[in-house]
Amino acid sequence: MDLKSALANELKSQVLSSWTEEDISTLIEIPKHTHMGDLAFPCFRLAKEWRKAPGAIAEEIAHSLHSPMFNSVEAAGPYVNVRFDPVLTGKEIVSSILQQGVHYGSHSFGKGKTIVLDMSSPNIAKPFSMGHLRSTVIGNAIANIAETCGYETVRINYIGDWGTQFGKLITAFKKWGDEEKVKENPIAELFTLYKKFHEEAVQDPSLEDEGRKAFKLLEDGEEEITVLWKWFKNESLEAFKVIYSLLGVEFDSYNGEAFFNDKMEEVAELLEENQLLETSQGAKVVRLEDETLPPCLIRKTDGATLYATRDLAAALYRQREYSFDEALYVVGQEQTVHFKQVKGVLEKLGYEWADAMKHIPFGLYLKDGKKMSTRKGRVILLEEVLQEAIKMAGENIKKKNPDLKEAAAVARDVGVGAIIFHDVKNDRMNDIEFSLEHMLTFEGETGPYLQYTHARAQSILRKAGTPSPLSFEGLDDSSSWEVIKQLRLFPETVERAWKNYAPSILAKYLLELAKSFNSYYGNTKIIHNDPGQESRLTLVYVVAAVLSKGLTVLGIGSPDEM
């Protein structure tokens, strides 16, 4: 039962017959404080139509609005505050949730549509740092939310496996590399070589030319260079997959930049045919002044293609391959102009589907207030952070529940969940200062707090036994009503999280649900042999189900015991 719709319906039928329910519903608010009521209708917009002060209108509506669902209707200044009957309305809400079962919170408006997500996309031969966490977990959560709304999703890991940096790495390996060391610990050793190249290049700038020449040989397919590049790539992917396994993230495609090497000529030809390519200082560009954007570089003066050329080729390929309804690029906000340029070029080519391409930007992880950089060695390795989180979670479990079965699996869920939730609970546009201590706090607004709330609910159900069949006859205490009001917000929260591409909306909702449930638990003797016990246990069951589903959508496990 949607309380907003119920109130809008009553307002329309009794006092606002000329308005649509939708118009009424958009005005209805949730009061800041529970003592003010469950919902409030502001009367400002009626002042001109009714030629009365908003306060007088509120008084008139309050006296005219009646329904068995309402416990009270009161005017409070320009607002009409409404309290619903917790027993009657609560029974309808919880019964509806039980009826929908595992589908509660899911939607069907995405059915038959496909969403392509470009996400994660680390560079090969470099360690998977905290800097790549945001794209990975935000992208995964958005994909899960899309699936909950009925969409088919395609997760693409657009690996950075091409570019001048590989010429530099190959040069470094040939000068200072040790094959056995690389085999023993590939990512760490390749990272060391990459840093050494840049340190040495400060003293010897000719190294930069050597790096560029090595990459040209790679572009030309020189055998020895290509073998090294493939080796670096394969070792990197294997190392990345260990981290993705820890995070519980899977991909439908690992087609990286190199995959589009033979597909860029078509882009240049299309632009030539449409007379969009211009020469600027020897380079080939598409001008975008009408979009107030700088020119989009397609070819450098030496004829080499650029990042934009690859993204144009990738967009064409993905539309043909997947016929996407939306293509989401979960990439840092520093790439905003780039994606506007790519979209602008595709629109100039007449592709209407370019409008369905959306950049989903996000802020950075910072270290000491500065952007992390592999080149400068200012980097925190994600795998180390995840392993440390799992270790700390395991130590915490040993202290609090030494006999816990499957302790290792629970420690992994809790440790990894702490890292993921710390990220997705933040508005994606905010920068986050890296703090392992803050991330791994198992109290307050954290992933472990939500997991513990879920485990507590499951513990109650184990102790008392889950009612069978589940039924809810209504409860009349205020703390259970606060829980029920939170539960009924789940479907609209999922929809809002999707429309805003904002996992943080769902994360914050789960925190509010957990807080209301823990308050209920603290104020109520749930296991008490009286007529209300079955309804109380059913409420516990529903809370656990919604917490578990919400955590799963965010990419986080929900252990039954902790």
Query: β-pairing, 79-84 with 39-42?
Result: antiparallel
DSSP H or E run through 454: helix 447-464
pLDDT at 553 over 60: yes
Residues 373-383, mean pLDDT to the nearest whole number: 67
Q: Which uninterrupted H or E stretch holds 62?
A: helix 54-64
Buried b (16+ CB within 10 A) or exposed e, 144-174: bbbebbebbbbbbbbbbbbbebbbbbbbbbe
Class in CATH terms, 3-84: alpha beta
**pLDDT single digits (tens) 121-177:** 999 888 888 888 999 999 999 999 999 999 999 999 999 999 888 999 999 999 999
**What residues contact 461, with CB distance under 8 A and at least 6 apart?**
537, 540, 541, 544
Asked whether residue 374 carries a pLDDT value surpassing 90, the answer given is no
List, in sequence order, every beta strand (DSSP E) within 326-397: 326-329, 357-359, 365-367, 370-371
Asked if pLDDT for residue 375 goes beyond 80, the answer is no
pLDDT at 379: 67
The 10s digit of each residue's pLDDT in 438-454 is 777 767 899 999 999 99
Q: Residue 497 is which amino acid?
A: A
Structure tokens at 337: 């102009």
**Residue 378 pLDDT grade (very low, low, confident, very high; cuts 50, 70, 90):** low
Helix or strand or coil: residue 547?
Answer: helix
What is the separation, in whole angstroms, between the first and last Cα of the chain? 33
pLDDT of res. 441: 74
- The CATH number of 114-252+312-366, from 3.90.1150.150, 3.40.50.970, 3.40.50.620, 3.30.750.210, is 3.40.50.620
Q: What are phi and psi of 35, to 5 degrees?
A: -65, -15
Alpha carbons 15 and 351: distance in angstroms, whole number: 49
Cα distances from 340 to residues 306, 411, 415, in angstroms, run 16, 42, 38
CA distance 349 to 152: 27
Q: In whole angstroms, give the CA distance from residue 354 to residue 346.
A: 6
Polymer length in residues for the chain: 562
Q: What percent of the chain has pLDDT over 90?
A: 83
Q: What SS3 state is found at 233?
A: helix
Q: Dihedral of CA 447/450/454/455: which sign? A: positive
Domain boundaries, the chain: 3-84, 114-252+312-366
Helix (H, G, I), strand (E, B) or coil at 279: strand
Read off φ and ψ for residue 79, nearest 5 degrees: -110, 150
Q: How far apart are CA 416 and CA 544, in angstroms?
A: 20
pLDDT at 365: 86
Whose tokens are 């930007």? That residue is 361
Q: What integer best gives the mean pLDDT of the chain?
A: 93
d(CA 235, CA 226): 14
- Under DSSP, is residue 39 helix (H, G, I), strand (E, B) or coil? strand
pLDDT at 421 over 70: yes
Pairing state of beta strands 39-42 and 70-76? Answer: unpaired
pLDDT digits (tens, 9 = 90+) for 250-275: 999 999 999 999 999 999 999 999 99
pLDDT tens digits for range 40-90: 999 999 999 999 999 999 999 999 999 999 999 999 999 999 999 999 999
Contact between 80 and 44 (Cβ < 8 Å): no
83, two tokens: 């309290």
Of 149, 506, 100, nearest to 326 by C-alpha is: 149
Given a contact cutoff of 8 angstroms between Cβ atoms, the answer to whether 455 and 559 are in contact is yes
> What is the predicted pLDDT for the residue at 376?
57
Amino acid 380: pLDDT: 78
- In this predicted structure, the answer to whether residue 297 has a pLDDT above a threshold of 90 is yes
Contacts of 162 (CB under 8 A, 6+ apart): 256, 257, 258, 261, 310
pLDDT for the residue 183: 86
Cα–Cα nearest to 85, from 67, 98, 97: 67
3-state secondary structure 64-104: HCCCCCEEEEEEECCEEEEEECHHHHHHHHHHHHHHHHHHC
Cis before 503 (ω within 30): no
Point out which residues pair with 29 in neighbouring strands: 40
Supply the pLDDT for residue 206.
94
Residues 6+ apart with CB under 8 A from 275: none
Name the H helices within 149-253.
164-176, 179-184, 186-203, 206-219, 223-247
Residue 436's pLDDT band (boundaries 50, 70, 90)?
A: confident
Look up residue 122 and give its DSSP letter. Answer: P
pLDDT at 73: 97
Give tens-digit pLDDT for 28-39. 999 999 889 999
Sorting pLDDT into bands at 50, 70 and 90, what band is 381? Answer: confident
Residue 115 tokens read as 């969403």
53 and 76 in contact (C-beta within 8 Å)? no
Rounded distance, CA 249 to CA 241, Å? Answer: 9
Do residues 253 and 154 lie in contact, with contact meaning Cβ atoms separated by under 8 Å? Answer: yes
